[in-house]
Structure formats: C-alpha cells, structure tokens
Amino acid sequence: MRKVKKGGTVKVAVVLGTRPEAIKLAPVILELKRRSALFEPLVCASGQHREMLAQALAAFGLEPQYNLDVMRSRQSLSEVTAAVLGGLEPIFTSEQPDVVIVQGDTTTAFAASLAAYYQGIPVGHVEAGLRTEDKYSPFPEEINRRLITHIAELHFAPTEIARANLLREAIDAARIVVTGNTVVDALHFIRRRLARESSLRPDFGLDAGKHPVILVTAHRRESFGQPLQQICRAIRTLAERRPDVSIVYPVHLNPNVAEPVHQSLSGLPNIKLLGPLDYVSFVALMDRATILLTDSGGLQEEGPSLGKPVLVMRDTSERPEAIDAGAAWLVGTDPQRIVTAVETLLDEPQVYQHMATRPNPFGDGHAAERIVSVLSEWHHVTAAPERDPQRNWPEGLSPSPGASTSLDSLRLFRFC
C-alpha cells in the first residue's frame, strides 16, 4: 500500500454519486472542512445521479471539485461501474489522495473503492456492515457492500449489529468503529435550518387541518415490474378507501419507476405525485407525514429519528435495528398486506403511538465527528509509526493496555 504522507494536511477524497450518498456524506465533508488545519477534502462526484445529486448537495451548500457526469438514461450497472472506475483513475493519479471515503452500497461506492485499491490508496467505508444475507436483495447493493468491506481499511459501522456482521466476516476488530449513522447528523443539520426558515412548501397543499398524510417513496431495482405494480395497486386502494388521507409521492426519476407510477396513480384527487424533492423540503414533508411508506434504505433510518412509523415495502431489510425496535414493519409488496398495515396505524392510535415513540437506534447525530476523529488518529498512527505510542497519543485516545496495534485504540470511539 502507498505510504501515507508525513506532515502537512491529509487529502481525503470523498466519492459520491447518488442522492443518499450525498446526504450521508455531507456531514463528513462539512466536518472535514471544519478541521481544515489537518484535512483537505476533495469531493469527487461520479454523477451516477444528476438532478437528484445536485439537489442533495445543494441542501448542504456543497459543490464537488470533480464531476464525472456518468449518468445516462436507463444506464446499466456495467456501464456505471466501468465509467466510474475509468473516470476516477486519472483523478486519483493526479490528486494522490491519502485516503478515499465511500458510503453505503451503490455502484459508485463499489467502483470508487476498487479504483482506490488499484492505486494502493486506503479506503474508509461509511455505513459499513449492513447485510441482508440475500445476495439478490437488495440487488446489487448486497454484493456491492460485501465487496467494499473486503477492500476497505477502515469500517465505520453505524450500529453494533453492523459491527457484528463485519466480525462474522473476519474483519479485524481494530479496524471497525461504531459511529452511528451520519443520516442522523444530516437530519439534525437540516432541522436546524427548518427551525429558521418556513418549512412546508405551499404547493403540497398540506397546511390546512391535521388530516393524515402518507408519504411514499419507492425505487428499488428488485421491485421493478410486478412488485411495483402491486405497490401502486395498494396506494390506489388506500386513496379510494380513505378520502380523508393525503398521499404524497415524490417519484424517483428512474423511468422504470416514474412511468408505471404515473400511469397507475395519476388523476386521483388525494394522491399528489411530485418530482424528487430537495432534502430541505423532503425533511419538512417527513415532519408533517403520519406514516412513511417506502422501500428506501435511508427512510428506514430517518423515520425512527423523527418519530414516524415506517412501513417497509420490501421482503428483506439490512436495517433490523428499526424493525427490532418496533419503529418499522416489514410489509413486503403484497397489496393487501400494505393496505392492512396502513389502516392499522391510521385506526389504532395505541399501535401508532407505540411505534412512533421507539428510541432511535441509529445514533446521536455525532457520527461524522467520530469518523473524522478516527481519520485523524489513523493518519497520526500510519504517518508516524516510529513514534512512541505511549507518549504521543492525543488525550483520551491512548491505546488500551495490551493493544496489539495502534488502531485498537479506535475502539474507544464506540458509543453504544
């Protein structure tokens, strides 16, 4: 592996490509910027998403220094993989980052970690260790994240369950740090903004009254075709049976999603189909919503953070914490099951209340600080291995007695 530079700033290439990566890496980038005496963040966008990535970055006032702009309509997985891998090579060659940070399980994250590995650049993986143990669900994310795990040097696991998954795959415990999920940091950041600015967009038509609002998102590849048709059937049935309920659905731009959704759900008075929302507007909408009905990964974390019950329209989830805590139910894509679950929450206040008041298992909003502290400590250790480890560790970080490697001390960051 390439030798880490001594002295000077640590160049951290943060690679992102899709909406959720931008939202979950924004707190890390902001924290790296805040600590500019030590870090030089370099934001590299693959452009796997175009409009949706720009929307997400704008919410945090961030702009990438590089944008590969790889998005094509109806792009295939191999096209994205090849374009990101090839596009990052010259950037990594000229910029020589000390470390590459990726998040989650997208094709951008996988291809970026492979590009870094090919050049001997260590990789830090944010949101490491999520697993369903079903390699086709979610597809291709389950395999992407497993491959990233075996490339990465540093694993920022959001929860203890994620950490245990990594340990089961023989990942060195000293390289895993449980940080919480950075999406909680992102939510805190946006809610501070919402406290200052007016919140709900008037065109949602939701200001009047306190009637129930169901917020829907769905986009997973494994749902294309029949499962998505079933999801639409359930939403239509709910709209017809419950005229008192508003259903708001910001539709993903993927034509495999947008076309069938608009075909099935246009024209009903209590269904509002919107384009993707900027993150500030979306957080305001989640705040107003009664129930989140979704197949998204991020919403399964945001729901418990906001006290909103989440109904997960998937057969598997890599976020068992929310389900175990009782904050989310796995309802699959069977229309009857979806309708029954929604109506139970609408009609049984005790059930609703129980779900809405579960503790948030995804962290305390300080994940990015932990990640950046670990990067700082890791750099300190790897750039100066000849240092006296007992004397030079920053306060609060001295290695535990008998620690076999300096990175063992990073376990001190574990917060839960």
Q: Using CB under 6 A, which residues numbered 95 to 114 contact ligand UD1?
A: 105-107
Measured from the CB of residue 171, what is the shortest distance to ligand UDP in angstroms? 23
**How many other CB atoms sit within 10 Å of the CB of residue 349?**
10
Q: Pick from ligand UD1, ligand UDP, none: which does 51 bind, CB < 5 to 8 A by kind?
A: ligand UD1
Distance CA 73, CA 76 (A): 9
Q: Which is nearer to ligand UDP, 103 or 406 (CB)?
A: 103
Active site residue 347: no
Instruction: Please tell me whether residue 110 binds ligand UDP under the rule CB under 6 A.
Output: no
Active site residue 379: no
Site mask, ligand UDP, residues 136-175, x = CB under 6 A? ----------------------------------------
Active site residue 221: yes
| Catalytic hit among 127, 295, 318, 369 | 127
Q: Which class for 264: exposed (0-12), middle (13-18), buried (19 or more C-beta within 10 A)?
A: middle
Contacts (Cβ under 8 Å, ≥6 apart) of 101 = 12, 13, 14, 15, 25, 28, 123, 124, 125, 126
| Catalytic hit among 98, 141, 295, 318 | 141
Active site residue 49: no
DSSP conformational letter for 58:
H
Nearest to 211 by CA among 300, 97, 291: 291
Piece of 18-26, 177-185, 188-196, 206-214 that binds ligand UD1 (CB under 6 A): 18-26
Q: Pick from ligand UD1, ligand UDP, none: which does 122 bind, CB < 5 to 8 A by kind?
A: none
Q: Using CB under 6 A, which residues numbered 40 to 59 contact ligand UD1?
A: 48-52
Q: What is the DSSP string of 378-392?
A: HHHHHH-TTS-HHHH
Total residues belonging to the chain: 416
Instruction: Please tell me whether residue 141 binds ligand UD1 under the rule CB under 6 A.
Output: yes
Q: Which is nearer to ligand UDP, 20 or 97 (CB)?
A: 20
Q: What is the DSSP string of 96-132?
A: --SEEEEETT-HHHHHHHHHHHHTT--EEEETTT---
DSSP conformational letter for 263:
H
Q: Pick from ligand UDP, ligand UD1, none: which does 23 bind, CB < 5 to 8 A by kind?
A: ligand UDP
Distance CA 328, CA 330 (A): 7
- Which of 159, 165, 179, 217 is close enough to bind ligand UDP by CB under 6 A? 217
Size of the site for ligand UDP (CB under 6 A): 16
Q: Pick from ligand UDP, ligand UD1, none: which does 74 bind, CB < 5 to 8 A by kind?
A: ligand UD1
The two structure tokens encoding residue 388: 């006296």
Q: Is 410 helix (H, G, I), strand (E, B) or coil?
A: helix
Contacts (Cβ under 8 Å, ≥6 apart) of 336 = 234
Measured from the CB of residue 73, what is the shortest distance to ligand UD1 in angstroms? 4
Cβ atoms 240, 267 nearer than 8 A: no
Q: What is the DSSP string of 73-96?
A: TT--HHHHHHHHHHHHHHHHHHH-
Measured from the CB of residue 357, what is the shortest distance to ligand UDP in angstroms? 21
| Catalytic hit among 219, 220, 314, 380 | 219
Active site residue 127: yes
Q: Which is nearer to ligand UDP, 183 or 345 (CB)?
A: 183
The two structure tokens encoding residue 158: 């959001």
Which residues does the annotation mark as catalytic? 105, 127, 141, 219, 221, 252
Site residues, ligand UDP (CB under 6 A):
19-20, 23, 183, 217, 219, 250, 276-277, 279, 282, 296-299, 302
Site residues, ligand UD1 (CB under 6 A):
18-20, 48-52, 71-75, 77, 80, 105-107, 140-141, 219, 221, 253-255
